[in-house]
């Protein structure tokens, strides 16, 4: 694994540890107020990043594009904004909501870029495969 795939998997591992530490602290303190923060660090931080990593690993041509790098950095910056924002919000500070709004839109934009990168690479690749394998189309 290298490039964008490795970057995403590194991010995923960091979030898996941070998310579980928060889950453990919630469980130990019997205070589940940060449940949405924990849930999003786990699924958005760990699972989504890991899925992106495996996609870019399986389809290397997608990971090499400039847009894939934009996807990674926008996802990385906006997840930091989302998780810090959620932590502050569920710590009882609703004034942080605008930051969360911007970060959420940033993550949506990152995923939109991924959709474009992934679909264009997939359709290009699948069109080439039978030709490379010598299949008659």
Q: Give me the residues that bind ligand HEM (CB under 6 A), please.
A: 20, 23-24, 26-27, 32, 35-36, 38-40, 42-44, 46-48, 104, 107-108
Cβ nearer to ligand HEM, comparing 7 with 79: 79
Phi, then psi, of 136 in degrees rounded to 5: -85, 130
Question: Taking the complex as a whole, how short is the minimal distance between the CB of residue 55 and ligand HEM, in angstroms?
Answer: 14
Neighbours of 26 (CB within 10 A): 16
Cβ nearer to ligand HEM, comparing 51 with 119: 51
Give the residue at shortest CB distance from ligand HEM. 23
Cβ nearer to ligand HEM, comparing 21 with 127: 21
Token look-up 């839109």 returns 105
- Provide the angle, in degrees to the nearest 10, between the axes of the packed helices 66-90 and 97-132: 150
Question: Taking the complex as a whole, how short is the minimal distance between the CB of residue 36 and ligand HEM, in angstroms?
Answer: 3
Do residues 131 and 116 touch, judged by C-beta distance below 8 A? no
Cβ nearer to ligand HEM, comparing 91 with 130: 91
Question: Taking the complex as a whole, how short is the minimal distance between the CB of residue 134 and ligand HEM, in angstroms?
Answer: 40
The backbone region for 2, taken as left when phi is positive above 0, alpha when psi lies in -120 to 50, beta otherwise, is beta
How buried is 75 (Cβ within 10 angstroms: 0-12 exposed, 13-18 middle, 19+ buried)?
A: buried
Question: Taking the complex as a whole, how short is the minimal distance between the CB of residue 129 and ligand HEM, in angstroms?
Answer: 29
């Amino acid at each position: 694994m290298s490039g964008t795939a490795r970057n995403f998997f590194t991010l995923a591992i960091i979030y898996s540890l941070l998310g579980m530490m928060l889950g453990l602290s919630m469980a130990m303190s019997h205070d589940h107020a940060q449940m949405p923060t924990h849930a999003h660090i786990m699924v958005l931080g760990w699972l989504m990043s890991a899925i992106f990593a495996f996609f870019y690993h399986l389809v290397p041509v997608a990971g090499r594009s400039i847009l894939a790098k934009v996807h990674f950095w926008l996802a990385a910056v906006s997840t930091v904004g989302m998780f810090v924002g959620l932590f502050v919000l569920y710590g009882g500070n609703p004034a942080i909501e605008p930051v969360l709004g911007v970060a959420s839109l940033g993550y949506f934009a990152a995923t939109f870029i991924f959709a474009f990168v992934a679909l264009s690479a997939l359709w290009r690749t699948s069109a080439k495969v039978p030709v490379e394998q010598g299949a008659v189309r």
